Amino acid sequence: MNSTEPLQLTSCGAGRLTAWREGEDAALVRPVKCFPLSDPGHHLSLRNDKNEELAFIADPTELDASSQAALIEALAAGSFTFNVTAIEEIKTDFELRAWKVDTAAGPRQFQTALDAWPRNVDDGGYLIEDVFGDLYRLPALNQLDKDSAKRLWMMVG
- Rounded CA-CA distance 48/90 in Å is 38
pLDDT band at 18 (very low <50, low <70, confident <90, very high): very high
Q: Any idea what the Cα angle at residue 92 is, between residues 118 and 133, rounded to 5°?
A: 45
User: Is the torsion defined by CA of 22, 26, 32, 34 positive or negative?
Assistant: negative
Indicate whether this model's pTM tops 0.75.
no
How far is 111 from 17, CA to CA, in rounded Å? 28
Give pLDDT tens digits for 66-75.
999 999 888 8
Give the pLDDT score at 2: 60
The helix/strand/coil state of 54 is strand
What span, in angstroms and rounded, lies between the C-alpha atoms of 53 and 47? 4
Question: Pick from 94, 95, 90: which is nearest to 110 by CA?
Answer: 90
Q: Where are the domains of the chain?
A: 8-78, 81-156
76-100 pLDDT, tens digit each = 777 667 899 999 999 998 889 999 9
User: Partners of 85 in the beta sheet?
Assistant: none
Task: Note the pLDDT tens digit of each residue in 122-153.
Answer: 778 999 988 877 889 999 999 999 999 999 99
